[in-house]
A = this chain, B = another copy of it.
Amino acid sequence: MGGDHAPTEIVSGAARAVREMDVEVIITGLRPDLTAELKKHGFHDSTIRLVDAIEVVKDGENAIIAAMRKPNSSMAIATKLVKDGKADAVVSAGSTGAFMVNAYQHLGCLPGIERPIVGGAFLKLAPNTFMLDMGANVGCQASDLLKFAVAGSVFVRKFHGIENPTVGLLNVGAEEGKGTEVVKEAYCLLKESGLNFIGNVEGMDIPGGKANVIVCDGFVGNILLKYSEGMAKGINHFLSEELAVMLPQPAVESVTSKLMKQISTPDTTGGGPIWGINGVAIVCHGASRADHIAAAISEAKLAVESDFVGTLRVELEKALKGTPG
């Protein structure tokens, strides 16, 4: 029930996943709404199981209060299915904050992690660059940034086959000694971490793909993510008008849609895992369409099958041994 286009696009994405992947999907939410959507895709609730969730967390609600006061929200019920061993992973396009609180509350964190992490690929322009955190952690300490770097490195190695992933610290200059006190301290921790730390990276190094893993406070990551979305929208509008007088409409649409893909979060990810949670929880953008939901379900499947959470637990313990925080 969460996301700008729920439940229509959510159900549509789930239907696609069931059709195209070897995956079983349970949808939680308001049964009459979900049944009506499923019918559009020729599914009955014997194929895709429905589980009642009578509350909905709305955008704008305080995340912690929503998670506390709405134990029967669709995201809470879905998360509890994982806790109870009835599902292997949970995917949501609802409020990132509330989902994070739910995941934290019901599944808990891995040892050494106090707060879960949201990250993932950022731009198709730089397909081998992964950013974390993208909004779950606002107001980070240096040790948080180190944890992001460890989690990102494990993810890139496991999921993308890059053996010794490079790690960059997002900053306002390339030189050591730049940035806020937190970032300066993080630089020192990363230097000593045993990770493949290449130093500070700057804003242009994100589309430039300078590092495989770029770490930043979720405040910065979230603003960058939404800024990209707004830029894409503005560029699409401008370019469509410019090209309309030069090219036939199908060609205009082909060019603009290819460009939009380049400057959006890659479709192959759909969303991002909430890293650090003791279970697989994938958070999608609020604006997710069916494509993104299906991709996020595929990502959840990969995470389960490769025992990402178990591996991350081991690697975090190893890397954080002896470091502060």
Interface residues of chain A, those whose CB is within 8 Å of chain B, are 60, 62, 123, 125-126, 135, 138-139, 170-175, 177, 179-181, 183, 202-208, 216, 218-220, 222-231, 233-235, 238-239, 242-243, 246-247, 251, 255, 258-259, 262-263
Contacts and interface: CB of A to CB of B under 8 A. Distances in A.
> Which of A171, A226, A255 counts the most chain B CB atoms within 10 A?
A226
A262 B247 contact: no
Given A246-B255, A251-B246, A204 B180 contact: no
A181 B139 contact: yes
> Which of A203, A225, A255 counts the most chain B CB atoms within 10 A?
A203
A264 to B, nearest CB: 12
B233 A207 contact: yes
11 contacts: A60-B173, A60-B175, A170-B223, A172-B223, A202-B223, A203-B225, A204-B226, A207-B227, A208-B233, A235-B263, A243-B255
A172 B139 contact: no
Given A170-B223, A223-B203, A227-B227, A238 B259 contact: yes
Contact of A227 (B62, B175, B206, B239): B206
Q: Main SS of chain A's interface residues?
A: helix
Contacts of A139: 180-181
Contacts of A62: 175, 177
A144 to B, nearest CB: 13
> Which of A207, A218, A224, A228 counts the most chain B CB atoms within 10 A?
A207
A131 to B, nearest CB: 11
A40 B266 CA distance: 48
A304 to B, nearest CB: 29
A62 to B, nearest CB: 7
A125 B222 CA distance: 21
A219 B177 contact: no
A242 B174 CA distance: 32
A181 B219 CA distance: 11
A123 to B, nearest CB: 8
A65 to B, nearest CB: 10
Q: Which 9 A-B pairs have the closest CB atoms?
A: A204-B230, A203-B226, A203-B227, A207-B230, A207-B234, A139-B180, A172-B222, A203-B223, A125-B234
A224 B224 contact: yes
A226 B202 contact: yes
Given A172-B218, A230-B208, A238 B224 contact: no
Contacts of A123: 234
B262 A235 contact: yes
Contact of A172 (B204, B219, B259): B219
A125 to B, nearest CB: 4
